[in-house]
Amino acid sequence: MRYSKIFAKTNKSAPHDADSPNARLLAQAGFINQSMSGVYSYLPLGLRVLNKIKQIVREEMDALGANEILMPALHSKNLYDTTERWDSIDVLFKLKGSGKKEYALGSTHEEVVTPLVKEYVKSYKDLPVAVYQIQDKFRDEPRAKSGLLRGREFSMKDLYSFHLTEEDFNKFYEKSKESYLNVFSRCGLDAVVVEASGGVFSKFSHEFQVKTEYGEDTIFNCKCGFAQNKEIAEVKEDDDCPKCGTGKIQTSKSIEVGNIFPLKNRFTKAFGFKVQGQDGKQTDILMGCYGIGPSRVMGSVVEVHHDDKGIVWPKAIAPFNVHLISIKNKDEAIQEKIMGICQSLHDELNQLGVDVLWDDRENISAGQKFADADLIGNPLRIVVSEKTLADNSVEWKERHESESKLVSTENAVNKIKMFIDAPDNLTSH
């Protein structure tokens, strides 16, 4: 893809109200554009990242055995009358339709998924069932802030599982933790599983928290993996860790990127969703819900992986694998050669499934192109100039390294492909 063809370019200045690194860098680099507080458009580069994150989530949910569906975002008030949540979900956006009809915009989907699954599950033999969707959710958050971390419209993957027995539920719940950790590590996030409040439904839920300064949560944690949300913590800073006994409890600011909840029969009971068990008795169905915010994940990745020049994307979710730069030359013959090499690198890499963003702009200085490459943050920068041409090579610079080197033009495609396929070695900043 030629950068000249992307309509939304980088900006010199940050939005005046950017209150966190992700809000500032994603806007400046041309990934997102704020429409109003907590509501964003995804521009071409930003949409590529969001879609890559969603795809990782999708692969892990499919591997967990869940079916992807898509439920409506517009909900009838009747559904919430059934569960008595019309007035208790404080962030619910409520709308009035024609006549006296009332609706809500989906902030979560228990009210839709429970009667939906009920229609298809006729006997215990049809269980367990797990369905998920990836959709925008709407929440009238009292304080939308920190760019993609807390929006009023945001992307969520929500999964719901239905089980006949506690044992079957627990098995699935534990397996879902593994899937969640896979999602976050594939996205370049080091997530901690944290015990958190179960709300009105059950004693505990589990949150997946990423330690970052702009996070709104506080967790007490130990190096051994023990972690509790401050809201429910039974420990305090400097206590001996109750799990390993040797470590000391530390306090960390963090952001919740995922949350899994046992819902017991809270919703199935409200909708009268029961089946006849093997023993012939009517049994309440047990339910769990499991959320991940792909847009919040995107914001969190930027919080964790950036430096003073811009974003440092993990390979798996970078908008492009390679940022190719052609340096304009006044000599027509040299310029033609530079563009020719770039075109073939671009095409050959594309054929190997390596995405290339080619900064082919002719009226932009080399310095500006380098600054844009750092701001945008693709993992590998390749430069073709008169200088590299003279050496039959291209200049190679990894985004997270400060040194560049020359690689022969002949070997460039193979080396790039190998680099892109190799695992990341990014560390958090």
Give contact residues for Mg ion (rule: CB under 5 A): 259
SS3 label, residue 352: coil
Instruction: Say what the alpha-carbon torsion angle 168, 173, 176, 181 is, to the nearest 10 degrees.
Output: -150
Decide if residue 195 touches ligand ATP (CB under 6 A).
no
Cβ contacts of 10-18, under 8 Å, gap ≥ 24:
10/372, 10/375, 10/376, 18/147
Q: Candidates 3, 132, 138, 154: give the one binding ligand ATP (CB under 6 A).
A: 154
306 binds, among Mg ion, ligand ATP, none (CB under 5 to 8 A by kind): none
Instruction: Say what the alpha-carbon torsion angle 399, 402, 403, 408 is, to the nearest 10 degrees.
Output: 10
The DSSP secondary-structure symbol of 2 reads B
- Stretch near ligand ATP under the rule CB under 6 A, chosen from 166-174, 291-299, 317-325, 377-385: 291-299
- Stretch near ligand ATP under the rule CB under 6 A, chosen from 60-68, 74-82, 169-177, 253-261: 253-261
Decide if residue 254 touches ligand ATP (CB under 6 A).
no
Site for ligand ATP in 62-121 (CB under 6 A): 108
151 binds, among ligand ATP, Mg ion, none (CB under 5 to 8 A by kind): ligand ATP
Between 46 and 215, name the residue whose CB sits nearer to Mg ion: 215
Instruction: Say what the alpha-carbon torsion angle 344, 349, 353, 356 is, to the nearest 10 degrees.
Output: -90
Pair of tokens at residue 367: 């310095």
30 binds, among Mg ion, ligand ATP, none (CB under 5 to 8 A by kind): none
Tell me the site size for ligand ATP, rule CB under 6 A.
Answer: 16
Decide if residue 151 touches ligand ATP (CB under 6 A).
yes
- Stretch near ligand ATP under the rule CB under 6 A, chosen from 63-71, 148-156, 265-273, 341-349: 148-156
In the complex, minimum distance from the CB of residue 139 to ligand ATP, in angstroms, rounded to a whole number: 5
CA angle 332/335/338 to nearest 5° reads 155
Between 48 and 157, name the residue whose CB sits nearer to Mg ion: 157
How far is 146 from 125, CA to CA, in rounded Å?
Answer: 46
Q: How many CB atoms lie within 10 A of CB 245?
A: 9
In the complex, minimum distance from the CB of residue 403 to ligand ATP, in angstroms, rounded to a whole number: 36
In the complex, minimum distance from the CB of residue 208 to ligand ATP, in angstroms, rounded to a whole number: 7
Q: Candidates 92, 156, 191, 338: give the one binding ligand ATP (CB under 6 A).
A: 156
Decide if residue 184 touches ligand ATP (CB under 6 A).
no
Q: Candidates 30, 258, 319, 379: give the one binding ligand ATP (CB under 6 A).
A: 258
Q: At what angle do helices 44-63 and 166-186 cross, to 10 degrees?
A: 150
Between 35 and 278, name the residue whose CB sits nearer to ligand ATP: 35
Q: Could you identify the residue written with the tokens 């429970």?
A: 114
Decide if residue 141 touches ligand ATP (CB under 6 A).
yes
Of 254, 253, 293, 296, nearest to 145 (Cα)?
296
CA angle 61/356/426 to nearest 5° reads 60
Decide if residue 295 touches ligand ATP (CB under 6 A).
yes
Sheet containing 102-105: give its strands across. Answer: 74-76, 102-105, 93-96
Q: Candidates 296, 315, 323, 399: give the one binding ligand ATP (CB under 6 A).
A: 296
In the complex, minimum distance from the CB of residue 38 to ligand ATP, in angstroms, rounded to a whole number: 7
154 binds, among Mg ion, ligand ATP, none (CB under 5 to 8 A by kind): ligand ATP
Decide if residue 257 touches ligand ATP (CB under 6 A).
yes
Of how many residues is the chain composed? 429
Instruction: Say what the alpha-carbon torsion angle 218, 140, 199, 270 is, to the nearest 10 degrees.
Output: -160
Q: Is the dihedral of CA 328, 333, 334, 338 positive or negative?
A: positive
Tell me which residues touch ligand ATP (CB under 6 A).
108, 139, 141, 150-151, 154, 156, 256-259, 291-293, 295-296
